[in-house]
Amino acid sequence: MRKTGVLTAGLLAAAMTFPAFAQMSVEDQIEARQAAYQFMSWNMGKIKAQVIDGEVAFNADQMMAAANAIAATANSGLGALYSPESAMDQADDTRLKPEFFEQPEKAREVGGNFVREANKLQEVAATGDQEALASQFAAVGKTCKACHDNFRAD
């Protein structure tokens, strides 16, 4: 009995600390996905600075760290942050178009393309090949844009 009580209390504490553990509020979903995209954007920027613009000297370890962060975020199950109630026709402070839920095949396609290219970015970054990384950076960027063009309001 006592043991169960302690366990339950522990689970409740975990649920309060980590929103994903329980049903997340729409506000939390929006905040978390916006933060995830900002974080990926920051890491994409690091890659761009080194392999596209050449403003920063190429550093293979930094490129691998950036690509790992992007791939990990892409693979973290971002779909859980997309409930129909979190689209801009029902919620505030978001640019998610309701079309995301009206065109589930398209949403799956753009999401799947993005995850695939993000995983490839991680593989390419691990090789330290600067030119291959530049071209894979562009491939990932295209998948970001494809989703924005379809499902993000201006």
Residue 113 Cβ vs ligand HEC, minimum distance, rounded to whole Å: 8
Q: Taking Cα atoms as reference points, which of 113, 152, 145 lies closest to residue 44?
A: 145
Q: Site residues for ligand HEC, window 68-127 (CB under 6 A)?
A: 70, 94-96, 110-111, 114
- Note whether 28 and 19 are within 8 A (CB): yes
Task: List the x/- string, 123-142, binding to ligand HEC by CB under 6 A.
Answer: -----------------x--
Pull the structure tokens for residue 14. 């975990």
How many angstroms separate the Cα of 2 from the Cα of each of 6, 11, 80, 145? 6, 14, 34, 53
Residue 61 Cβ vs ligand HEC, minimum distance, rounded to whole Å: 20
Q: Looking at beta carbons only, is 10 or 98 nearer to ligand HEC?
A: 98
Question: Which burial class, exposed, middle or buried, applies to 43 when counting CB atoms under 10 A from its CB (0-12, 13-18, 19+)?
Answer: buried
Q: Taking Cα atoms as reference points, which of 130, 111, 20 lies closest to residue 67?
A: 130
Q: Site residues for ligand HEC, window 32-61 (CB under 6 A)?
A: 33-34, 37-38, 40-41, 44
Q: Looking at beta carbons only, is 16 or 145 nearer to ligand HEC?
A: 145
Q: Which residues of the shown chain bind ligand HEC in the complex (CB under 6 A)?
A: 30, 33-34, 37-38, 40-41, 44, 70, 94-96, 110-111, 114, 140, 143-144, 147-148, 151-152
